[in-house]
Amino acid sequence: MNKVVFVVLISIFVGCNQPIENEIINNDSSIESKSNKTAIVIHGGAGNMQATQFDEEKTNLYLGFLDSVVSYGYELLELGANGQEVVVKVLSLLEDSPLFNAGRGAVLTNEATHELDASIMHGKTLNAGAIAGVKNIKNPIQLAALVMDSSEHVFLAREGAEAFADHMGIPPIDPSYFLVPDRLDALKRIQAKEKENRLKDDKFGTVGCVVLDLNGDIVAGTSTGGMTNKRFGRVGDSPIIGAGTYANNATCGLSATGWGEFFIRSVAVHDIHAQMQYANKSLLEAASDVVMNKIPSLGGDGGVIGVDKTGNIVMVFNTSGMFRAGIDGDGTKQVAIFK
């Protein structure tokens, strides 16, 4: 069967809101027919952004990018790519875009620097890799995958993670790569506010991807620049297995976005898995309980995306919006920002 691969050409320059172009390439290769379905879901962060902040051009830019990326990932899965490969490639595209709070578009710390976090988990082996607080890594998700595959550890941080990157042959990138003007403006704006207002009003950005591949394997990954104006080496939920990322072939894969402290305290995404495994809840039931009940009861907000072992997807959030897109096991696509 002929397939179509969407190659997403990243043509957005710093400070520009230019649309992304898709180059469609015919691929004559075929794969052995398998009974398993494929599915993919991505997010670009949840927060209390308002539709009035998005004109038609900006809305179409985000929707078009999300559509392109999720279509690219889905076609890779349909061609037989393994889930880990797809998660890393998809999240690298999201990290390379200045539209989202990860990689190039990462927000600034209190000192106007960048501290990047990422994690990935494989649902078949339950192997995982995570990094936190790196400052010179272009694609943190790629380093997290190397921690999973090429070290005996799960979680490396700051200078140690950067030393491991050097050991693995990943060249450092100049910090100027991450200097997106909008992020500096956001830092100045937030520093002018009271702390409690900042925490309530600031949009918490992250990127995530969860897939089900033709082998029935579920893989999940998350990457972020953290919280604008963060101090003291603060680390949120994104690199923490069970809080921001989790995958288990027996149930589901999940990636979270939001106020990380509350996802850590509630071990949010592992809770969803546990409700499915031990209480026989559906993915939607379990995710809704955690995101709509447990997280708000603690005072937090945010969202979760997920895929279960049969190809169902969820995109649940308790904020006014979440950048999101998904294609479920039946091939149904969803792309949206607001409720």
Distant-in-sequence, close-in-space partners of 208: CB < 8 Å, separation ≥ 6: 42, 43, 91, 220, 221, 222, 223, 245, 255, 256, 257, 305
CA–CA dist 312, 39 (Å, integer): 8
CA–CA dist 277, 295 (Å, integer): 20
Looking at this protein, which amino acid is placed at residue 31?
I
- Is 257 among the catalytic positions? no
Tell me the residue ranges of DSSP E strands in the chain: 3-9, 21-27, 39-47, 116-122, 128-134, 155-157, 207-212, 218-224, 245-248, 252-258, 302-308, 313-317, 321-327, 333-338
Phi, psi at residue 114, to the nearest 5°? Answer: -125, 140
Catalytic residue among 206, 222, 224, 228: 206
CA–CA dist 91, 140 (Å, integer): 9
DSSP class of 204: B
Active-site residue numbers? 206
